Structure 1
Amino acid sequence: MLKWLCILVFCCSKLWAGEVITLGAEDDWAPYSYLKPGEKKISGFAPRIITAAFQTQGIDVQFRAVPFTRCLKETLSGELVGCFDIEKNEENQSQYFFHRTPLFSEGLSIFALSSSQPRTVQVADLAGHTVAITNGYTYPPLIMNNAKIKKDASPSDEVQFKKLLAGRAEFALVNTTPAKLLMQKTPAFKNRIVEVGLVNKALFYIGFSKSHPDGARLALIFEQGLHVIHSNGQYAQLEQEFKASLQ
């Protein structure tokens, strides 16, 4: 049944050629989705992949750059048809329509002060400690459902690191690549904060709204577009360009 539905969506997508849609884009998660200072156009790896995939289906995408918590809220309400970048887990997979193929994968790392002479830290070691997280971000249930981990919510990843420096948190949970960029940008972070462990390697998606009339349709169309750019090598090319930009 799913096979025939996907074929039907692929064929019908030709009828929607020239369609323009608007997606919510996280505005502060470099290098995946962010606004450069002084600019209004969203940048990052995710919007490039999304644009390319939808273009294969005759659909143009506009992006509304908003804080991530607002992006999620407006997608759940149906004001937005979709939002990215969402880590899918057992707690949120019933809230959105998710495409099958992920946008990308990214690690979630554990950070601490270098002066604390940290050893390799696992999630179980966080129990009883104050751990900084970013408000509104998606973390694995093994973190969020563990009442022994003293979670300290921050408005951004950067504030997490500032709390480490100020002694207000013992550990910080920040995605690996964004953390490396933060350290490059702020010498104080690079010299005093170190990665001490890895929580997981997560997969990220567009979450399409179950309250928007086009949510289910666009999730299927986007999956078809992702299949095309993976098959024709465009995804690999964009990924190579992205990794080169991080050097």
Structure 2
Amino acid sequence: MKKVLLAAAFVALTPLCLAETVSIGAEDDWYPYSGKVNGQAKGMAVDIVGAAFKAAGIDVKFESLPYARCMAMAKSGEVAGCFDTARNSTLEKEYLWHKQPLFKARIAIYARADSKQSGLTTKDLEGKDVGVTNDYEYGEEFDRNTKIRRSVSNQDEQGFRKLAAGRVEYMVAYEKVADAVFKKNEKDFAGKFKAVGETAVPELYIAFSQKRPDNQKIVDAFNKGMDAIQKDGTYKQIVDRWK
């Protein structure tokens, strides 16, 4: 009987002992969720991902990367996964996904501060010049809408500078990230913009690579870790800390 119990325990723990360290790509310019600060990945999402892997018994190494490169490396298997990703129908089939989202975030539509508009949606952006950041997702409706004229930048800050200069009519950005950009560039951006609508409030995930043969087990372990930190209050503590 003892042998049976020991064997069962070993099977149960096996998915949590896949590797000493899992390498995960973290967006380097998306603070306060995930950004490169003093050479290290910092932010709410970084803390959540780290805590979930720790609860699953797996050490994680974060690689701070530009988002487009991060997703490309996850797709090719150079890293086990990349965050923070808003799932859409294109990405859905290209990556593996965990069950519970890391968090939700509002995507706002920004105009210059003298705008009289409000309540705009993705549909209202058709035929307009809109600032976006390279390879970011802005909700299924926006991502699939080919009538929006996208002006692509490598960083949100660059997109807001285009908006300030009148080179685009709107900028779309995740609200808390935009707030961090405004604070960082307070001298240039204070009082320059206003939110005039939203495109979506998506759930954000780690996009796990399909190219690594053991990655489904990594995803399963991460799911267990997320369950654990939700139940023991760690998740709430992290979110409250970043409010």
TM-score (norm 2): 0.91
- In structure 1, list runs of 5 or more residues that go unmatched: 1-6
Residue 13 of structure 1 contacts residue 58 of structure 1 at CA under 8 Å; is this kept in 2?
no
2:207 match: secondary structure = strand
Q: State the Cα distance separating 1:17 from its structure 2 match.
A: 7.7
Q: Distance in 2 between matches of 1:119 and 1:105?
A: 22
2:84 match: secondary structure = strand
Residue 9 of structure 1 contacts residue 217 of structure 1 at CA under 8 Å; is this kept in 2?
no
Which amino acid is 1:223 matched to? N
Which amino acid is 1:27 matched to? D
Instruction: Report matched runs for 1:110-125 at 5 Å.
Output: 110-125=109-124
Q: Distance in 1 between matches of 2:19 and 2:151?
A: 46
Instruction: Report matched runs for 1:198-217 at 5 Å.
Output: 198-217=198-217
2:205 match: secondary structure = strand
Match status 1:29 vs 2:30: yes
Residue 171 to residue 8, structure 1, CA distance change in 2 (3 Å): farther
For these two proteins, the number of residue pairs brought into alignment is 234
Q: State the Cα distance separating 1:147 from its structure 2 match.
A: 2.5
Q: State the Cα distance separating 1:71 from its structure 2 match.
A: 0.7
State the partner residue of 2:228.
Answer: 228
Q: Distance in 1 between matches of 2:212 and 2:205?
A: 17
Residue 166 to residue 232, structure 1, CA distance change in 2 (3 Å): same
Residue 18 of structure 1 contacts residue 58 of structure 1 at CA under 8 Å; is this kept in 2?
no
RMSD of aligned alpha carbons: 1.8
State the partner residue of 1:3.
Answer: none
Amino-acid identity (%): 34
Q: Distance in 1 between matches of 2:97 and 2:20?
A: 21
2:105 match: secondary structure = strand
Bigger mean CA offset, 226-235 vs 49-58:
49-58
- In structure 2, list runs of 5 or more residues that go unmatched: 1-8
Which amino acid is 1:227 matched to? D
State the partner residue of 2:13.
Answer: 11
Q: Distance in 1 between matches of 2:18 and 2:151?
A: 47
TM-score (norm 1): 0.89
State the partner residue of 2:6.
Answer: none
Q: Distance in 2 between matches of 1:183 and 1:237?
A: 26
Q: State the Cα distance separating 1:8 from its structure 2 match.
A: 9.2
State the partner residue of 2:197.
Answer: 197
